[in-house]
Structure 1
Amino acid sequence: MTFENILTEKKGAVGIITLNRPKALNALCKQLMDELTAAVDDMENDDNIRVMIVTGSEKAFAAGADIKEMASKGFVDVYAGNFITSNWERLTRTRKPVIAAVAGYALGGGCELAMMCDFIIAADSAKFSQPEITIGTIPGAGGTQRLTRAVGKAKAMELCLTGRMMDAEEAERAGLVARVVPAADLMAEAMKTAEKI
């Protein structure tokens, strides 16, 4: 399979999906999400793959939904028309464990995508936020519910209502991430963990 917005790799029993829109800090456009869904489907159907890792770049796991792509669309187009919802939940429906290996920014939809994985291993450079409030909206892909389950109501409300950013250490203390590792070791640690599963 050939993709434009993601890279895929299979290493033994581990499937790796790398978000790859560097000029847009891996902003989540519809095509990227379609490709992510296809890659997850492929890896789920591959009996040799036991676990998946979803990652981004050193600078950004994903800087959120592609606002430029959504700007011209109204509520009906975005939500009722399945612009967002058609593929966003795919990671939550796979029968295989999924690890998010997060470095750099995981903002808005990027933070939501990471939370859809079974757990997050964060680089010490990772930054998490639900900044949708700053553009007059709320997290649209389950972030309000997932963040609340991960960090508790008070912290989730504060983060969603202010758009404040959490660094990796705070995210670990709050329960959003399982473990923080040096950025240079992120993929090696994610692989080591995946191979134990």
Structure 2
Amino acid sequence: MSAYELLQMERDGAVAIVTIDRPEKRNALSAQVRAELIAVLDELRDDDGVRVLVITGAGDNSFVAGADIGEFAQRTPLEQRAAMTGRRVFDEVAAYPKPVLAMINGLALGGGCELALACDVRLAADTAKLGQPEINLGIIPGGGGTQRLPRVVGTGQAMRLILSGEIIGAAEALRIGLVDVVHPATELRERTLEFARGMAGKSPVALRMAKSAVRAAAEMPLSAGLQYETEAFITCFGSDDKREGVAAFLEKRTAEFTGR
């Protein structure tokens, strides 16, 4: 276990599980939580023993129920601008070189939904609820929701959720593509870790190149994205992992990837 005040970090083989631990505040994203999340990402970035990260919330009711409204309630526009400069946890998660999975065990609202959107794969309990209810406070999503949500679910569904503030259940979130997998709540952790362990057994080089190329698809025209993919593919050809993966396939054995 790592020593963070508002996070718990544990390891399951090559998988790191980061738990936001503010159950009394429904794991709301305070400034300290955001800073600690960035710190744990930095800690694990160059740790070759960790290949996949899982982010979740403490307890059974909340992943992250939103931002800590009490922190910004009295801010002026200039104060809020200052608070939104520098490294932002949503962008750090999205750009992280290793796969990051959201294990959505309950409410994922506002900033919590945005944190999940920044992750690479979203696995939810069947009891989870998601939404962008900022409109009810007279504001809009400010952690990437207006940009990442349309890229995930399409413009129409994003408009529906952002303009109405509607909170939807896991089944509806799965239907529109807001989450990728739904498990019974009692099985969520076991099934998520099983999935994460399988991913962690792949080549770290290929995982990094694949994530980077898929992320590029949202930023580039098709022609540029295809060129980006070609270069990432060629980069894999220079790795020990590619040589090991091909050799293992031809020799009909399990590959042992080193990340080199």
Q: State the distance in 2 between where 1:18 and 1:155 align.
A: 29
Query: Structure 1, unaligned stretches of length 5 or more?
Result: none
Q: Report the Cα distance in structure 1 between the residues aligned to 2:125 and 2:85, rounded to whole angstroms.
A: 27
In 2: Cα distance, 1:125 partner to 1:78 partner: 33
Show the counterpart of 1:62. Answer: 64
Residue 141 of structure 1, aligned match among 117, 140, 143: 143
In 1: Cα distance, 2:84 partner to 2:151 partner: 25
Aligned equivalents of 2:71 and 2:132: distance in 1? Answer: 19
TM-score by length of 2: 0.73
**What fraction of aligned residue pairs are identical, expressed as a percent?**
44
- 1:87 and 2:88 are equivalent in the alignment: yes
Separation in 2 of the partners of 1:85 and 1:167?
33
In 2, Cα distance between the equivalents of 1:150 and 1:169?
16
**Residue 113 (str. 1) matches residue 86 (str. 2):** no
Unaligned runs of 5+ in 2: 200-260
What SS does structure 1 have at the residue aligned with 2:187? helix
Looking at structure 2, the residues matched to 117 and 84 of structure 1 have their Cα atoms a distance apart, in angstroms, of 21
Whether contact under 8 Å (1:30, 1:84) holds in the other structure is no
- In the other structure, the counterpart of 2:130 is 128
For 2:3 and 2:16, the matched residues in 1 are separated by 15
Residue 25 (structure 2) pairs with residue 24 (structure 1): yes
Which amino acid letter does the alignment assign opposite residue 64 of structure 1?
G
Q: Highest CA radius of gyration, 1 or 2? A: 2
Alignment partners' CA distance in 2, 1:143 and 1:85: 18
RMSD: 1.2
Following superposition, the deviation at residue 146 of structure 1 comes to 1.0
Q: Which has the higher contact order (CA 8 A, sep 6+)?
A: 1
- C-alpha distance in 1 between matches for 2:75 and 2:147: 24
Partner-residue secondary structure (3-state), 1:86: coil
CA distance 1:84–1:129, change in 2 (3 Å): farther
Aligned ranges for residues 41-56 of structure 1 at < 5 Å?
41-56=42-57
Provide the residue aligned with 1:14 in structure 2: 15
Return the structure number with greater helix share.
2
TM-superposed deviation, 1:3: 1.1
State the AA in 2 paired with 1:17.
V
Output the CA distance in 2 between the equivalents of 1:142 and 1:176.
14
Give the Cα separation in 2 of the matches to 1:140 and 1:113.
11
| Closer, same or farther: CA 136–82 of 1 in aligned 2, 3 Å | same
Match of 1:65, as an amino acid? Answer: A
**TM-score normalised to the size of structure 1?**
0.96
Q: Is the 8 A contact 1:30 1:83 kept in 2?
A: no
Q: Provide the rounded CA distance (Å) in 1 between the counterparts of 2:72 and 2:35.
A: 15
Asked if structure 2 preserves the Cα contact closer than 8 Å seen for 1:123 and 1:183, the reply is: yes
Post-superposition Cα deviations, 1:89-144, rounded to whole Å, max 9, x if no partner, equal 21112100000000110000000001100010000011001000000000001001
Q: How far off its partner does 1:22 sit?
A: 0.7
What residue in structure 2 maps to residue 71 of structure 1? 73
Distance change (3 Å), C-alpha of 1:85 and 1:102: farther
CA offsets, 1:47-104, max 9 Å, x none? 110000000131000011100011121222222x144763322111210000000011
Q: How many Å separate the matches in 2 of 1:58 and 1:117?
A: 20
The equivalent of 2:38 in structure 1 is: 37
Residue among 167, 175, 178 paired with 1:176: 178
